[in-house]
Amino acid sequence: MKYKKMGRTGLKVSAFCLGTMTFGKQVEEAESLRIIDAAIDEGVNFLDTADMYVNGRTEQIVGKALKGRRDSIVLASKVGHTLKLGAKWGGNRDSGPIDMARPKAFTPWPGAEDIGLNDMGLSRKHIMQGVEASLKRLNTDYIDIYYAHMPDYDTPLEETLRAMDDLVRQGKVRYLACSNYRAFQLSKALWISDKYNLARFDCIQPPYNLLARDVEYELLPLCATEGVGVCVFSPMAAGFLSGKYNKDKGPIEGARFSLAHQGYVYNQKYWSEDNFDAVAKLKQIAESNGRTLAQFALAWVLSNRTVTAVVCGNTSVAQLEQNMAATEITLSEDELKACDEVWSQLRPPRLFYGR
């Protein structure tokens, strides 16, 4: 297993970070525990969870699995998820400009419809309550990396960072991080921490894969410059880059693309003609070099030196072993260039504003 420093920090994490989002739901508890065991046996020291995964069930399973070996593990969890309505100008495409004046929808995630207004977001109140609940479920007294799960436009960054800084001082959290933030929001958070001498976001968790490379224009240059770690989620485009989906056949029963809520979300994101074309081309590149597409896709993400780790979920021990092996693969210049070709078809270059 390869280990990397997380950004400028002294923390060393395995390049393979075990994602747990499906534990307790798609993957039943017994198999989840086996997967975690196998990962740790192979040298994985980095586990990623969140308070809202399967409404807390996942954290409980992770806590059970780590019993007795907590200190050798870098345990990450998240707080403050809310389900947002689409941005005004982008319709339900969540990539457009944010309308700062838009009235905010307080919508909890599916399965948590009953929770109150202060049971989500990144207010001091919810963070303090969230960490206690996570610690209890994880059955531990500290979290190594505590993520703000997504930006909360209703709460000043100062409030969020000060609350999270207090958690660091209280010994409940070691490092702070954020997920799903835009580059300008992370940049602003970094200078607020600087200005008020607070712990800063030392890691960010964005999606990044061969079919979704937008982080390369703003977010990765920021992280490279400021020494912020990058733990990437969706490195395989939610399984789409495994090549197992077939446009004509439709989603596979039980796999990520056919799950109700998430199935819909992932569908929108990847299920398109040009993504299927891209996957076909990528498969060819991978296989002509004797690699499976899944391993190729993971190795490609890790080939970017700004990336610290891939967050990768698994539904079986067999899948886990295949995925972990990908971290040892180094892609050639030719392979990387071929991937760039595919991306420039998906995202034809337009005049970019930053030089």
Partner 1 sequence: MQYRKMGRTGLKVSTYCMGVMNLGSQVSEKDSLKIIETAIEQGVNFFDAADMYVTGKAEQILGKAIKGKRDSIVLATKVGHWLKMKDNVRVEAADIDGKPTPYSPWEGGGEAGPNDMGLSRKHIMQGIEASLRRLDTDYIDLYYCHMPDYDTPLEETLRALDDLVHQGKVRYIGCSNYCAWRLCKALGVSAMHNLARFECVQPPYNLLARDIEYELMPLCASEGVGMCVYSPMAAGFLSGKYDKAKGPIEGARFAIGHLGLRYNQQYWSDSNFEAVDKLKQTASAHGRNMAQFALAWVLQHQPITSVVSGASSLAQLEQNLAATELKLSEEELRACDEVWSVLRPFRFFYGR
Of 275, 278, 282, 309, which Cα lies nearest the Cα of 297? 282
- Cα distance between residue 153 and residue 105, in whole Å: 11
| 18 is an interface residue for partner 1 by CB under 8 A | no
| 172 is an interface residue for partner 1 by CB under 8 A | no
Of 261, 278, 260, which Cα lies nearest the Cα of 270? 278
- Among 165-173, 187-195, 253-261, 310-318, which window interacts with partner 1 (CB under 8 A)? 187-195
Which of 53, 147, 208, 245 is flagged as catalytic? 53
Out of 237, 241, 282, 342, which residue is the one contacting partner 1 (CB under 8 A)? 237
Query: Considering the complex, what minimum distance in angstroms separates the CB of residue 71 from partner 1?
Result: 32
CB count in 10 Å sphere of residue 299:
21
Query: Considering the complex, what minimum distance in angstroms separates the CB of residue 39 from partner 1?
Result: 26
Helix (H) or strand (E) holding 281: helix 273-288
Non-local (6+) Cβ contacts of 269 within 8 A are: 212, 237, 238
In the window 209-228, what residues touch partner 1 (CB under 8 A)? 211-226
| 187 is an interface residue for partner 1 by CB under 8 A | yes
Query: Considering the complex, what minimum distance in angstroms separates the CB of residue 96 from partner 1?
Result: 6
Out of 77, 234, 315, 327, which residue is the one contacting partner 1 (CB under 8 A)? 234
Binding mask 258-277 for partner 1 (x = CB under 8 A): -----------xx-x-x---
- Cα distance between residue 217 and residue 198, in whole Å: 28
| 96 is an interface residue for partner 1 by CB under 8 A | yes
- Among 2-10, 13-21, 176-184, 291-299, which window interacts with partner 1 (CB under 8 A)? 176-184
Of 147, 143, 98, 153, which Cα lies nearest the Cα of 121? 153
In the window 313-352, what residues touch partner 1 (CB under 8 A)? 346-352
Catalytic residue at 175? no
| 190 is an interface residue for partner 1 by CB under 8 A | yes
Query: Considering the complex, what minimum distance in angstroms separates the CB of residue 177 from partner 1?
Result: 14
Out of 10, 97, 171, 290, which residue is the one contacting partner 1 (CB under 8 A)? 97
Query: Considering the complex, what minimum distance in angstroms separates the CB of residue 153 from partner 1?
Result: 9
| 207 is an interface residue for partner 1 by CB under 8 A | yes
In the window 61-90, what residues touch partner 1 (CB under 8 A)? 84, 89
Non-local (6+) Cβ contacts of 145 within 8 A are: 6, 74, 75, 76, 77, 173, 174, 175, 176, 177, 203
Non-local (6+) Cβ contacts of 117 within 8 A are: 106
Sign for the CA dihedral angle at 176, 179, 183, 188 comes to: negative
| 183 is an interface residue for partner 1 by CB under 8 A | yes
Non-local (6+) Cβ contacts of 158 within 8 A are: 192, 196
CB count in 10 Å sphere of residue 72:
8
Out of 146, 181, 257, 296, which residue is the one contacting partner 1 (CB under 8 A)? 181
CB count in 10 Å sphere of residue 275:
20
SS3 4: strand
Alpha-helical segments (H) within 42-197: 57-66, 124-138, 157-169, 183-196
Query: Considering the complex, what minimum distance in angstroms separates the CB of residue 287 from partner 1?
Result: 24
Query: Considering the complex, what minimum distance in angstroms separates the CB of residue 255 from partner 1?
Result: 18
Q: Is 230 exposed, middle or buried (0-12, 13-18, 19+ CB in 10 A)?
A: buried
| 28 is an interface residue for partner 1 by CB under 8 A | no
Nearer to partner 1 by C-beta: 30 or 353?
Answer: 353
The residues annotated with a catalytic role in the active site are: 53
Residues in contact with partner 1 by CB under 8 A are 84, 89, 93-98, 100, 150-151, 180-188, 190-192, 194-195, 206-208, 211-226, 234, 237, 269-270, 272, 274, 304-306, 346-355
